[in-house]
């Protein structure tokens, strides 16, 4: 059973502006300590608020993912959805399920059921145009750290 909790990351780490050589300057990502890893066990989602953005940090069987908590279809709190495998496109009468242990799993939107890959946020139905923002998330010295 997947559980979800919320956190507001008021003490986000330092952010800085990275210089560029023309064009738009990219800022360095903000480092946010979400919690200790044991506080975000497999099968749970932690919702954090960072700079006005709601982001879901998902522990799927020990693999961490972070996605924007807004569905691009009609704005549902996407990370309240279920994580699951999915059927891969295949020949007629051939069924290829990614499985419960697969690296590439999806987040099912709780409102209308669109599926978004945890790995890159792309919609299964329309991967070229429908996508949820993903973020880098790491375990550092036992902390779950989000880079926004
Ligand atoms: S709001 Fe997510 S599928 Fe409609």
Distance 109 CA to ligand 1 centre (A): 6
10 within domain boundaries: no
- The ligand 1 atom at the shortest distance from the C-alpha of residue 76 is 1
Provide the pLDDT confidence category of residue 9 given band limits of 50, 70 and 90.
low
| pLDDT at 21 exceeding the cut of 70 | no
75 within domain boundaries: yes
Provide the pLDDT confidence category of residue 10 given band limits of 50, 70 and 90.
very low
Domain count, the chain: 1
CB 142, CB 104: distance < 8 Å: no
Cα–Cα–Cα angle for 105, 31, 104, rounded to 5 degrees: 10
5 within domain boundaries: no
- The ligand 1 atom at the shortest distance from the C-alpha of residue 112 is 3
What predicted TM-score, i.e. pTM, was given to this entire model?
A: 0.83
138 within domain boundaries: yes
pLDDT (tens digit, 9 = 90+) per residue, 90-144?
899 999 888 777 778 999 999 999 999 999 999 999 889 999 999 999 999 999 9
CB 146, CB 51: distance < 8 Å: no
Domain containing 55: what range?
30-147
pLDDT value at residue 104: 81
pLDDT (tens digit, 9 = 90+) per residue, 37-67?
999 999 999 999 999 999 999 999 999 999 9
For residue 62, give the CATH number of its domain.
2.102.10.10
94 within domain boundaries: yes
| pLDDT at 28 exceeding the cut of 70 | yes
Alpha carbon nearest to ligand 1 atom 1, residue: 74
11 within domain boundaries: no
CA distance 122 to 8: 26
24 within domain boundaries: no
Pocket of ligand 1 from Cβ distances under 6 Å: 71, 73-74, 76, 109, 111-112, 114
57 within domain boundaries: yes
């Amino acid at each position: 059973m997947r559980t979800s909790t919320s956190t507001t990351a008021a003490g986000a780490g330092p952010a800085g502006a990275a210089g560029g050589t023309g064009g738009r300057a990219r800022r360095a990502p903000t480092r946010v300590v979400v919690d200790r890893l044991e506080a975000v066990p497999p099968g749970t989602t932690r919702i954090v608020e960072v700079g006005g953005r709601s982001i879901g940090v998902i522990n799927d069987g020990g693999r961490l993912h972070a996605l924007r908590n807004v569905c691009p279809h009609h704005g549902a709190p996407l990370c309240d959805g279920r994580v699951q495998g999915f059927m891969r496109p295949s020949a007629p009468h051939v069924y290829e399920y990614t499985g419960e242990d697969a690296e590439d799993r999806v987040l099912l939107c709780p409102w209308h059921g669109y599926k978004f890959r945890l790995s890159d946020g792309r919609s299964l139905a329309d991967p070229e145009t429908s996508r949820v923002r993903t973020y880098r998330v790491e375990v550092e010295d036992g902390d779950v750290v989000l880079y926004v």
